[in-house]
Amino acid sequence: MTIHKEGTGTLLVTVLTLAVINGAAYYFAPDSKVLHTFLWIASAVLFLIVLQFFRKPTRKTPINPQHIIAPADGKVVVIEEVTETEYFHDRRIQVSIFMSPLNVHINYNPLSGIVSYFKYHPGKYLVAWHPKSSTENERTTIVTRHQNGTEVLFRQIAGALARRLCWYVDKGTRVTQGQEFGFIKFGSRIDLFLPLTAKILVNLDDRPVGGETVIAEL
């Protein structure tokens, strides 16, 4: 396991901030051992929390053109038939995965193909499990076309804590199932919009592993 590239700057800022706080405590209260001990423990805990958030585990994707792979770690909070209004304008099966701050926040391509549509939407920062977060929060919309012509839409959605979406694809990008396509910082959600003919292989409250768990069969 390594540290993701998106964490470099955040970890540096965290270390510098904690160093300043602890340095100030030694300067203004040099004899307060209780305060120094508390700050050292609190600093270590905070640093470890931030460090684990940016962890990059090794994942082995079972590449299969008939499978839709989980785009992220987390908890399945939505499985329902909805009308997708941005790209397809028809009925689709929505599967949503909520990521808590404790989850790995790397985003993985759910299928191989070519990105046929990409759009970034600025927006609000409602809690990620809010029903309107899918259409009102800051988000990206990505559609990948499989070699058989099937298209799958998925969205990165920022939550109340997540204030930065990172993505590594654009329209025309050729992607591979299980390959990273993005990262979301500090709590978020990903929505998948699948054809009505897809066979859903997860249930509500399941906890898929990004890049490995099979969400559906096409």
Domain boundaries, the chain: 2-56, 67-217
How far, in Å, are 43, 77, 99, 120, 204 from residue 128 at the CA level? 28, 10, 8, 17, 16
Q: Within 10 Å of residue 92's Cβ, how many Cβ atoms?
A: 22
Q: Hey, what CATH topology would domain 67-217 get?
A: Glucose Permease (Domain IIA) (2.70.70)
pTM: 0.85
**H/E element, 43:** helix 33-53
Tell me which residues are annotated as active site: 188
153/45: higher pLDDT: 153
First to last CA, the chain: 32
Average of per-residue pLDDT across 139-158: 94
User: DSSP label at 64?
Assistant: -
Give the pLDDT band (50/70/90) at residue 11.
Answer: confident
pLDDT of residue 133: 58
